[in-house]
Amino acid sequence: MAMRLCLLALLWGFCEQNFAAETLRMGFGSNKPPYVFENEQRGLEYEIVVAALKSAGFQVLQPYYAPMERLHLRLKRGELDGIATTQDDGGAAFYSDVYIEYQNVAVALAKRQLQINSVADLAGYSISSFQRSRFFFGPEFQAMAEHNPRYREEPRQINRNRLLYAGRIDLVIADRRIFRYFNTLVGDQVDVSQPVTLYPLFPATPYQLGFRLAVQRDRFNQGLKAIRASGEYQQIEQRYADY
């Protein structure tokens, strides 16, 4: 009996170790609803990622939220197992299949009547965009960003709505869903009833997860395929259809 109890204890310890090994330390960008509601463990993107990881046998117990630059640094240091909303830019990570697309546009107050028909037309204007966007829109946009002293990248995306409607900046680069959502939060600070003009300069931006290990990436990809096939992915999208 004592030997049997000992074996059961060892087996239980082994199972606990295996279970713990399946927990991932995942990083998500700072508050960017409706994709990620910081510290609420919900949002279109958050729920897709967690569902795919769950299908692959992983758990995300304590997600970490931070600006993108910090997420990349922590992944590089091994302090996170994976980070969301990134792209393969040659960094030291294993990148997943595309799991979501953002539709970014340039936005200006309509009364400004800006003539923006191409990325080249952005030069010379004051622009606020999201962190690391200089890497996401191709070499022409990156060159514009590097040579435009009035270009800036905001870690907190809500600030862009405030800056635009207050007339403190010419243009913002924003995802349509994120821009619309933050209008609901800044309406008591700035006049969001002002008409805006959207300039569709960019194709949809595909995003991947960056993982520390290839095996984690591979299992996530399988989980992503599974939730697409089962319809769970589409059910999550439907919950955020209003945005």
Instruction: Give the domains, in start order, of the chain with CATH numbers.
Output: 24-100+205-239 (3.40.190.10), 104-199 (3.40.190.10)
Residue 161 carries which DSSP code? H
pLDDT of 5 reads 41
Q: H helices within the chain, ranges in order?
A: 2-21, 44-55, 68-76, 139-147, 158-165, 176-186, 214-230, 232-239
Cross-strand partners of 28: 65
pLDDT of 6 reads 44
Whether pLDDT at 2 is above 60: no
The contacts of residue 10 (CB under 8 Å, 6+ apart) are: none
> Per-residue DSSP letters for 185-219?
HHTTTS-TTS-EEEE--S--EEEEEEESSHHHHHH
pLDDT of 17 reads 42
3-state class (DSSP) for residue 61: coil
**Tens of pLDDT, residues 121-132:** 999 999 999 888
The contacts of residue 92 (CB under 8 Å, 6+ apart) are: 76
Say which range, 2-6, 136-140, 158-162, has the weakest mean pLDDT.
Answer: 2-6
Confidence of residue 12 (pLDDT cuts 50, 70, 90): very low
Confidence of residue 11 (pLDDT cuts 50, 70, 90): very low
Mean pLDDT across the chain, nearest whole number?
A: 90
**Tens of pLDDT, residues 203-229:** 998 999 999 999 999 999 999 999 999
**Tens of pLDDT, residues 144-180:** 999 999 999 988 889 999 999 999 999 999 999 999 9
Whether pLDDT at 13 is above 70: no
Say if CB 34 and CB 44 are below 8 A apart.
Answer: yes
Provide the 10 A C-beta neighbour count for residue 200. 11
pLDDT of 10 reads 42
Angle CA(199)–CA(204)–CA(208) in degrees, nearest 5?
Answer: 140
Structure-block tokens of residue 68: 């993108």
pLDDT of 189 reads 96
Whether pLDDT at 18 is above 80: no
Whether pLDDT at 21 is above 70: no
